[in-house]
Amino acid sequence: MHGLPPDEIARHLAHLPGWTFDGQAVLREYRFPDFRSALAFVNSIADLADISGQHPEIRIAGPRVTLACSNRITKRVSLQDIQLARQIQNYAETQETLAG
């Protein structure tokens, strides 16, 4: 699987508010009112990831969830990673418990 060039990643991220590119992955942090809300969000993201076959790196720290979408071996971002980020973003926008 080939990685996208940084300029193409930037074009995609222009349509994904809050997502950034660190040179190896596209990242986004979500904040929730409490730990349980964060865990519920992660469980929903796990369902999206399984369906898509893409699995982001997920970090939970209290009410904060950080997602990193990339190929963990090659450290490159593919179109499939961008598509998963878009699915996560769309899901997150529907959640009333999302704090930011």
User: Quick one: CATH architecture of 6-93?
Assistant: 2-Layer Sandwich (3.30)
pTM: 0.88
Tokens of 13: 């991220």
Residues 10-49 pLDDT 10s: 999 999 999 999 999 999 999 999 999 999 999 999 988 9
pLDDT score for 72: 79
Q: What is the spatial distance between Cα 20 and Cα 31, in angstroms, rounded to a whole number? A: 16
Residues 41-64 have a mean pLDDT of 92
Please report, in angstroms and rounded to a whole number, the separation of the first and last CA atoms in the chain.
32
Kindly report the backbone phi and psi dihedral angles of residue 64, in degrees, each rounded to the nearest multiple of 5, phi listed first.
-110, 135
